[in-house]
A and B are shown apart, each in its own frame.
Chain A
Amino acid sequence: MALITGKKCGDEEMGPLGLETEVAEARTTFDSGKTKGFEWRKSQLQALLRLLQEKEEDMLKVLKEDLGKHRVEAYRDEVGALTKSVDNALLNLKKWMAPEKVSLPLVAVPTVAEIVPEPLGVVLVISSWNFPIGLSLEPMIGAIAAGNAAVLKPSELAPATSEFLAAEVPKYLDCEAIKVIQGGPQVAEQLLDLKWDKIFFTGSAQVGRIVMTAAAKHLTPVTLELGGKCPAIFDSLKSSRDQRMAVGRVAGAKWGSCLGQACIGIDYLLVTDEYAPTLIELLKGVIKEFFSNSEHLARIVNKHHFQRLCNLLQDESVAASVVHGGSVNAEELFIEPTILLNPPLDKEIMTEEIFGPLLPIITLKKIEDSIEFLRARPKPLVIYAFTHDEKFKQRIVDDTSSGCVMFNDTLIQYLCDTIPFGGVGQSGFGQYHGKFSFDNFSNRKPVGRRNFLIEFSFRYPPWNEKKLQLLRHIYRFDYIGFVLCFLGLKR
């Protein structure tokens, strides 16, 4: 997914000089120490909360405009989730900021030590188009809580949201420290040329490489929240109630969240040959129940992605595997929930992240084969599995690798502040949410303190055997040996 400009952000694209001036101001503001204090951070988070509350209608509106999201979906996935995160940050800010006391070995006595979190400085957040408010502000919460100045570049592919953020964020937040800079690939390139203390990127692997390469020039640490093909393993569940519920959760994750354009959405299903027909029927039923009215579904973000998805279905063998749906509406940029049964594994629909409402179902002889299937493929952001088999669950955790593993449900790991959210391998590195966001944007600085009272002469040259012996005892925590040696009573 290249940085292709869809609808333009009007003439708001800042010339290079304007951009650099903005960033320089953020730097000056950080250097002044303004963003470091508890009061400032608290005030910014509170302002963010007010923004979420007062501008909720506007937010739901721009999300509808950019992505056709129903207001309830938009609230559930973006506005509401952010509210929860800001509340959580406000509640815990003091605790997160507090130094952490650390114990020390006797050799270093008398020393006390602690780990003091400090802000990194001026950070750059580059956001994505599919959850354009959520993926912009969620990292910003971490950056602010950790005491940084921050520049946000929202995705130009969600232009109404980008405009909204550029207009409203400066009204609520401290615009000398928090900046929103709009624009496309050129603006991103200019920003990436500058020196940052951290870059937080959400998007595709291809652009992730560009970001990290640019960051390398300045030794800037990065977090890359990428994607991948997130599978859902569907084991046989005994009760029909559980099955129905599970299928509902699958449908919600595939189509109910940005029409499948989500990094943690389900990309494809793995199920046994035996169970596949039942599953397909259940899915069809749920699709009818939830999504009969397409008003309750989002839209494909732009023509480029719409075409990309249509192209996935062009191949004869892929088209032949469609068992439900498949109709498209170019004007509306809508593709209906579509199910495919065993499209060939070497076609693009099974080699690239789909990021759309097409759901391949891959069947296996037995469900345990799913583990080998996954091990042969790049590590995704999340592996979903619907099963009651505890042994199987353990095998999935032990023998596969992914950012996260979620059993018997979908998507809600995004809302849980106590677990880290991030990828591994091709799905990225670095984590956030909750305290992980705070840590992501902090330097955890160890501080040790000594006094002058006790001094060990054997630390210093000129060296001799006795000093060496004393140190051997100390390093083995052999205090008796140390004392004897010190008093000259032991060799």
Chain B
Amino acid sequence: MEGKTSNEVFNREKAEATVKELRQSFRAGKTKTYEWRAAQLEGIARLIKEKESEITQALRSDLAKPEMESYLHEISLAKSACLFALKNLKKWMKPEKVPAAITTFPSSAQIVSEPLGVVLVISAWNYPFLLSIDPVIGAIVAGNAVVLKPSEIAPATSELFAKILPEYVDSSCIKVVEGGVPETTALLEQKWDKIFYTGNGKVGRIVMAAAAKNLTPVSLELGGKSPVLVDSDVNLKVAVKRIAVGKWGCNNGQACIAPDYIITTKSFAPQLVEALKVTLERFYGKNPLESADLSRIVNLNHFKHLTDMLDEENVSDKIVCGGQTDEKQLKIAPTLLLDVPHDSLIMKNEIFGPLLPIVTVDKLEDSFEIINSMSKPLAAYVFTKNKKLEQEFLSNVSAGGILVNDVALHLANLYLPFGGVGESGIGAYHGKFSFDAFSHKKAVLSRGFAGEAGARYPPYTPEKQWILKGLINGSIVALFLALFKRF
């Protein structure tokens, strides 16, 4: 069991030794069998069941996360990922037969999924349990050995992993390494067969540059400013509830797919703001700073990042609801702002908190310019009953995922790939996409000696060229001649 104790530092030597041990385990073939993978998944499922209260406690300690959110967003999603993988493991492991081409007749072809080898999973602090265990499940189900480095910014969860994971899984193949920048750097210097990183773009670049040295493929689950376009023809009450729970009901806005900002028409904005205010009071009461249903801000650093945004000149006077902060408790109330300047901090950077700017436009079609002036987000949302607007949104907005008339739900669907594009990331996972993310799809082509195209070989003649032309283009006549013509 690796861990950072007071007199033990995880440095380059330790990183090397860890990877070496995992390589040996992997080479021995331990992780490849169905039995091993199923046993690990069953272990994780047991862990989630037996340690649910410890997990909930750690999340409360790290983020003041309400029990409901811990259950809804972390525990139950981790459980379904695990059970879904167990259910489909055998199917996913089977080679996929594919038709072979006439050009290669007679032949048979299949695609075999094989593990990449020894992989590194670096997790984030906002869903510290889920974002650790979910990729690890993917790595295991694909038959890899894996090192998990949980986020040090969620220390209780990180410690919990280091303590309990070895009790439930094969620690000769699955390891937890705790730590911050030095430990992560030591790990990134090693040669991995894949690196899976969840976090921000700045560190994402560092991870990819480190991976480049060893030609290691990466998956980067990053973030962005997820816009919500709200049309006036919607069922406002329902729309606002969905937006609210997607924003403040997800770790108080500290979620990569939480709505970052709203765009609506100038004429509709007042109604929208009123509806949001009503819903916010219904959800969190008159004193939201005291509500037990809101997560706190993760640490002082991030708290200041958010208050800096609020305090900026020409921004602080745009608050139309909320704005209360409590530095001691690291709490910020759900806050609405109306028409902040486009070049303000709050509109230039991913907010990742309970501040929700509302941007108004004359007509909704003008919103695409605003959305596309920013980098591609992880998710984009549109609330409308107008099919034409919906279609325009789909065609004009590029994002990791799009949801119409709701927020965040798509991440729970194991049949949809979850991942970013552009600045919001590279690669996708969840469900079978997790299996694929940690696999190499090996083409296996098999021929016999029955048919031989003498036309393939020198000395070359015009006649051979003619036959090859036909053969490559799938002509049956050419195939016939190729197989039977003697040169």
Contact = CB atoms under 8 A, between A and B. Distances in A.
Given A115-B416, A447-B404, A420 B459 contact: no
Contact of B446 (A73, A393, A401): A393
B104 A416 contact: yes
B235 interface: yes
A12 interface: no
A405 B293 contact: no
Contacts of A291: 458
B469 interface: yes
Interface string B410-452: 1011111110011101111000000000001111111111001
Given A209-B215, A424-B116, A219 B208 contact: yes
Nearest to B462: A72
Interface string B14-35: 0000000000000101001000
A408 B398 contact: no
A171 to B, nearest CB: 24
Contact of A408 (B241, B446, B458, B461): B446
Interface in A149-202: 197
A34 interface: no
B468 A224 contact: no
Nearest to B84: A105
B402 A401 contact: no
A23 interface: no
A113 B415 contact: yes
Contacts of A292: 459
Contact of B212 (A70, A72, A212): A212
B159 interface: no
A105 B457 contact: no
Contacts of A412: 103-104, 107, 445, 447
Given A72-B465, A105-B414, A208-B215, A463 B67 contact: yes
Contacts of A226: 215
B98 A256 contact: no
Contacts of A449: 390, 403-405
Given A219-B423, A468-B71, A450 B442 contact: no
- Tier of interface size on chain B: 35 or more
A114 B117 CA distance: 32
Contact of B101 (A76, A219, A417): A417
B442 A401 contact: yes
A296 B416 contact: no
Nearest to B71: A468
Interface string B91-117: 000000011110110010101101011
Contacts of A46: none
Contact of A75 (B457, B458, B465): B465
A84 B245 contact: no
- Tier of interface size on chain A: 35 or more
Contact of B409 (A416, A450, A475): A450
A471 B245 CA distance: 15
Nearest to A406: B445
A443 interface: yes
B79 interface: yes
Interface class of chain A by DSSP: mixed
A397 B209 contact: no
B443 A403 contact: yes
Interface in A392-413: 393, 397-399, 401-409, 412-413
A209 B98 CA distance: 33
Interface stretch (A240-248, A272-280, A354-362, A363-371): A240-248
B80 interface: yes
Interface in B260-288: 282-285
A375 B27 contact: yes
A350 to B, nearest CB: 21
Given A107-B412, A397-B444, A460-B283, A212 B245 contact: no
Contact of B473 (A87, A425, A430, A472): A87
A451 B445 contact: no
Contact of A426 (B66, B111, B215, B239): B215
B137 interface: no
A463 B293 contact: yes
Interface class of chain B by DSSP: mixed
Contacts of B443: 403-405, 413, 416, 419-421
A326 interface: no
A87 B470 CA distance: 13
B405 A217 contact: no
Nearest to A396: B444
B464 interface: yes
A487 to B, nearest CB: 21
Interface string A425-437: 1101111000000
Among B114, B283, B422, B468, find the residue whose CB has the most chain A CB atoms closer than 10 A. Answer: B422
A445 B399 contact: yes
Contacts of B104: 409, 412-413, 415-416
Nearest to A73: B460
A461 B284 contact: yes
A108 B71 contact: no
A108 B76 contact: no
B394 interface: yes
A402 B442 CA distance: 7
Contact of A115 (B29, B417, B425, B460): B417
A296 B460 contact: yes
Contacts of A219: 201, 204-205, 208, 220, 222, 422-423, 425-426
B193 interface: yes
Nearest to B451: A245
Contact of A448 (B413, B426, B449, B452): B413
Given A256-B458, A407-B445, A452-B239, A446 B193 contact: no
A187 to B, nearest CB: 21
Contact of A444 (B417, B445, B447): B417
Contacts of A418: 98-101, 109
Given A209-B213, A296-B459, A444 B428 contact: yes
B68 interface: yes
Given A115-B416, A212-B212, A415-B472, A475 B444 contact: no
B468 A216 contact: no
A21 interface: no
A71 B462 CA distance: 10
A116 interface: yes
B465 A71 contact: yes
Given A291-B458, A461-B249, A445 B402 contact: yes
Contacts of A33: 395
Given A205-B215, A452-B238, 17 more contacts: A113-B415, A121-B422, A209-B213, A217-B205, A221-B426, A224-B215, A252-B456, A293-B458, A397-B444, A415-B104, A418-B109, A420-B441, A445-B400, A447-B402, A448-B401, A450-B405, A451-B405
12 contacts: A71-B460, A76-B468, A209-B213, A213-B212, A216-B212, A290-B457, A408-B446, A415-B101, A419-B111, A449-B403, A450-B406, A450-B409
Q: Which 10 A-B pairs have the closest CB atoms?
A: A72-B460, A212-B212, A216-B208, A296-B458, A419-B443, A446-B416, A463-B68, A452-B235, A429-B217, A80-B472
Interface of B: 27, 29, 32, 66-68, 71-72, 76, 79-80, 98-101, 103-104, 107, 109, 111-112, 114, 116-117, 193, 201, 204-205, 208-209, 211-213, 215, 217, 220, 222, 234-235, 238-239, 241, 244-245, 249, 282-285, 291, 293, 372, 385, 390, 394-395, 398-406, 409-410, 412-418, 421-423, 425-428, 440-449, 452, 456-461, 464-465, 468-469, 472-474
